[in-house]
Each structure stands twice: as structure tokens, then as C-alpha cells.
Chains A and B, each alone.
Chain A
Amino acid sequence: MTLLELDNVTAWYGPVQVLDGVSLSVPDNGAVGILGANGAGKTTTLRAISGAVRTGGRITYDGRDIRGLHPEQVAKLGIAHVPEGRGTLGQLTVRENLRVGAYLRKDRKAVAEDLDYCLELFPNLKDRISSSASALSGGEQQMLAVARAFMARPRLLLLDEASLGLAPSTAKAVYEAIRRLRLESGIAMLIVEQNANLAFTLVDSAIVLETGRNVLSGSSAELKGMDEIRRAYLGG
């Protein structure tokens, strides 16, 4: 079953067109990567799904067209977005950030359970539960951003460059936790990543964008075998 499908999606920032026909599909429980250089339109693709940019084409989620919805409406449908730059709420504490993540949920008991699960998944956060998010390290902030998105109990997680600005070992740890999250929760994921090596530890398949359109797609194994992918994104 396909959960999310993008068909020839275009997007503009004011008069500037940044997406020029992006297509992809994310199956239920699947994980798909979006690879590409800076400015290829990876982040914009996620923002298009969330309704944060003006968009053309067709975006189908769970059988319905969601193009043109506002970000908060998209969130209500079960899509959580960890934006570029993490979007953690600096002056709020870690606990408050997680509570904001669970804003749409009414089931207090389940929310409390999920909060415990997050703290078990990211033990660093447990020690910092009452400190403000801006006091966290970069890696901890990234973990908080992922945990906050999980607190919404989404069906689909949009993850934008979770490794950005992190030390390699930290980035690896973050991806390890996300992989565990995927296995244990079954949440489908769409992941933007500059570091293709990291991405392939998580995703089953990926597309490659160049100047706002698809140039390649395939399973992780296929893509890893391609010379041009290796040269461009895998460092040899």
C-alpha cells in the first residue's frame, strides 16, 4: 500500500520556481530517502508536502489529495515534520517541547507512555528534561526534534537533514536511534539527507534530485552500486 505519493510536484518561493516536477512514493511502513546536492530542492519537497510553500502537481496521502492544505491541517492527518534547523522551541524546556509535539492528542495516558519511551530511546534527554531546549547540544537538540515529532504519533515522519552540523559519531548515534524508532513503531519515513552513507543505513529506497527534479531512483542496494552515486554522494 502506498501511503504518500508525489506526482510531478512543482513549488515556488515568490516568483522563483524551486521544484520542477518531483515524483516519489512512500509505502506504508517504508522509508524513502531524498538525496541531492545543496539547492536541489530536497527541503522544499518536504515543505511542499507539509503545505509550507505554494505548490503545484499532485500530493496524495492515504488516498486523498493534500495539496494546498495548511501545515497544521497536514499535521492533523498524521504527518510529522522535523524541519531543517530542527525547529526546537528554544525557550521551552525539553518536557514542554515534547508536550507541544503531543498537542493534538487527547489520550493523556498514552502520551505519558510515549514520553517515557522517548526518554528511553534518547537517554540524553532524560537528564535534561527540565532544562531549556536552547541549552542542549546540537545532537541533543536533534534528538529532541525527532522525539517531539514522534510525540504526535504520526503515520509518516518527514525528516530534514538530521545529521546537519553534528559530529560524525553523534550523527551516527542519532540515526541509530531513528532506525530503532522505525523498527519498533513502524512509522513510515521520508528522509532528506546530504550524507548518503548515513541515509542508506535507514532507507529502503531513494530518489536523487537535481535542480528541482528527479534524476534517479531505485532501491538502496541499486543506488549504492551506481558509480555516479558513489562519486557524487558517497565520497568515492
Chain B
Amino acid sequence: MNRMSKLLSNTWVRVAVVVVVAALLLIAPLVLPVFANQTLTRMGVYAVAVLGLNIIMGYTGQVMLGQIFFLGVGAYVTAYGVNNDWNIVVTFFAACILPGLLGLVIALAAARLGGLAIAMVTIALPIIGVPLAKRLTDLTGGSQGTSARFSSAPDWTGLDNDQWQYYMVMVITVIGFVLAYNLVRGKFGRAMAIVRDNEAVARSIGISPYRYKVMAFTIASIFGGASGFLYMVAVQYTSPETMSFAHSISLLAAMVVGGAASIAGSLIGGVYYVLVPQVTNAIDPTVTAISQGIILVAVLFILPGGLVSLPRVIRRLTRKRDTAVATSPQTTSPMHQDAGQAAEGPETERQGQS
């Protein structure tokens, strides 16, 4: 394990790994069957949605339960644009900006009340979104849903549709991940982390928690809208069901299982979102929800940093066995709190109530 991590820390090895992975991703659709390509494409779609959720929830520490709503809005905007012959680039930006604006307005109100208000308000988004989409028949096609065929492979490429869709989604997903990576590693990301860890400290050094929460929420909804566009690329059809309450919860579960406050965790989250229901549905559709609940609760208990923290945890365990020295374990939890402290019991005085 140790030799392995030493090997990975070598820059050239890293570059080589990236090149190999990139090559595999590029070649994969040419050799894989249609179904596998479609699955991979959908993983990209949801990875972008989870990535957006991670920005508000993982990096800024605000529980958000309505990300699927922004995906749905993005999908509807895309369908509307395509069916009204908008330019595809215009359609894409509209699919990002309109959900972004909606997110901005919602955040301006919800972020005013501290604590869990954002969670309590955003849980309503899919529940209002579904009947609203059914009602606005002219825009959404009502309960029937609406389809938009715009992602068939152009003749000059010589590709099949599934391959072309794969490449479209992959390009936008990669761009989204690069943007998010730079965002969370820059000044903005540090400010978000301070807001998450301690709002009072943030205020004392001139960072407005309110403003950063609103901005992070808006960015999250823009990513949500972009994933809605990708959803239309991959599926070419959307209906009110796309943004159902259950999907909204699943998206949050995917983020936690993948790993909060982690770019790689978002990717794992996208894989999880697509893969696990596919497996459980194949076994027995009635166990899908219960298995998701079990997995989420189990991850929170055993692996609070999500699957992305698994290598770190394994490395720590093996190192412990090697040296037999008990170092104080540094656990990361979904919202970056010290799990050990939480276990100590009713020590803390409840804030502001005594």
C-alpha cells in the first residue's frame, strides 16, 4: 500500500495515469455495447448534478434537498429551446441561466433564515415542481412530458447515436468538473469553507455568510440546469416524473455516498446514482428504496467521508497495523465535523437557548 501511494505521488506517474484514463474514456464508447454507453452517459449527467449539489452542501455546508428541481427545469428549457429551433449553444446557456436565476431568487429568501431553513424550503421544490410542470402544459407538455430530438449523431462523424451522446455529455461534464475544481480550490472555495465551518469567524473577517450561501446556491442550480441539458442529450425526453421527490432524495444520497466536499466524490456519486438502482431493480424493484436507505445510513455511520475516503481509511488502518501506534484518527464526516466529538454526548450547550 505504501509503495503504491509513493508511486502515485510521482508527477510523471500521475500524468501517465491521467493520459491512460483519458484514452480509455475516449476509446470506451467505440468498443462497448450500446447499453453500456448509455449507462456511462447517464452517469456523466448525474455526476454534474451531484457536483452542483456538492458545491452548496459539501463545500458550503447548507443541506439542499431540491437539486433535482433545477435538473428538471434545465431539461424543460432545453426541450423548449430545441422545439422552438433555438441555436443549440443558446439553448445550453438558457438551460443553465434560467435555473440559475430561479436558484438565486429562492436562495435570497431561504438563506435569510440560518440553520436548516434551506433544507426545509428546498424539500418543497420537487413537490411543487411536479404539479407545476403538469399545469404549464404549453411549455412542458403536461403529464405526457415532452421530447426533443437533437442529439442524433451527425453523418460526418460516422458515429452511432449512443456514441455521439456519450462524447457530448463527456465534454460538458469534463468542462464542468474542471470549472468546479478551480472554483473550490480558489479564493471562493476557501471562503465557502469558512462559512461552512464557522459563520461567526467568516463574519469577523469580512466574509458575508449570507452572500456566499446565495452565490453557492446559485452556482449549484446552474450546475443543476446544465445537468438537465445533459439529461436531454442522453434521454431526449422529460416529464414531471423527472423531478420527483424520490429522485431528489436519491441525488442527495448519491452525494453523501460518493463523498461530500470532494470533486472525485461527485463523480462516484454520479456512478452510484445510476448503477445501484439498476442493480437493485434487476433483483427486485421493491428493494430499491430500502437498499438505498440502508446504504446511506450505513455510509454515514461507517464511512462518513463517503466512498472517496475509502482509500484513505484503508491506508490508515493498514498503517496502524504496520506500526501498531494508535494515532488519533482524523475522521471526515459529510459536513466535516469531528465524529468523535459528536459521540461524547450531551456536552454542548444548545446555541442561543439558554
Contacts and interface: CB of A to CB of B under 8 A. Distances in A.
- Please tell me whether chains A and B touch each other in their complex, using a CB distance cut-off of 8 A: yes
A88 B354 CA distance: 7
A89 B340 contact: no
A90 B354 contact: yes
A37 interface: no
Contact of B340 (A14, A85, A90, A134): A14
Contacts of A87: 354
A90 B353 CA distance: 7
Contacts of B347: 52
A14 B354 contact: no
B328 interface: yes
A89 B328 contact: no
A91 interface: yes
Interface in B330-354: 338, 340-341, 347, 349, 353-354
A91 B353 contact: yes
Interface residues of B, number: 8
Most buried by B among A14, A87, A134: A14
Does more than half of chain B's interface fall in helix, strand or loop, or is it mixed? loop
A225 interface: no
Interface in B36-59: none
Interface in B206-255: none
A236 interface: no
Interface string A178-219: 000000000000000000000000000000000000000000
A15 B340 CA distance: 10
Contacts of B349: 85
Interface in A155-197: none
A91 B340 CA distance: 30
Interface in A96-141: 134
Contacts of B341: 14
Nearest to B345: A70
A147 B80 CA distance: 71
Interface residues of A, number: 10
Nearest to A70: B345
B3 to A, nearest CB: 30
A84 to B, nearest CB: 11
A199 B349 CA distance: 27
Contacts of A85: 349
Interface in B300-354: 328, 338, 340-341, 347, 349, 353-354
A82 to B, nearest CB: 14
Interface string B59-85: 000000000000000000000000000
Most buried by A among B340, B353, B354: B354
A88 B328 CA distance: 35
B251 to A, nearest CB: 34
Contacts of A88: 354
Contacts of B328: 14-15
Nearest to B354: A90
A7 B157 CA distance: 82
A85 B258 CA distance: 42
B353 A14 contact: no
Interface in A49-68: 52
A53 to B, nearest CB: 9
Given A15-B328, A52-B347, A89 B354 contact: yes
A90 B352 CA distance: 10
Contacts of A90: 353-354
B134 to A, nearest CB: 45
A201 B349 CA distance: 32
Nearest to B327: A15
A90 to B, nearest CB: 5
A42 B338 CA distance: 26
Nearest to B340: A14
Nearest to A15: B328
Contacts of A91: 353
Nearest to A47: B347
A179 B349 CA distance: 29
A15 B347 CA distance: 16
Contacts of A15: 328
14 contacts: A14-B328, A14-B338, A14-B340, A14-B341, A15-B328, A52-B347, A85-B349, A87-B354, A88-B354, A89-B354, A90-B353, A90-B354, A91-B353, A134-B354
Interface of A: 14-15, 52, 85, 87-91, 134
Q: 5 smallest A-B Cβ distances: which pairs? A: A15-B328, A90-B354, A14-B341, A14-B340, A52-B347
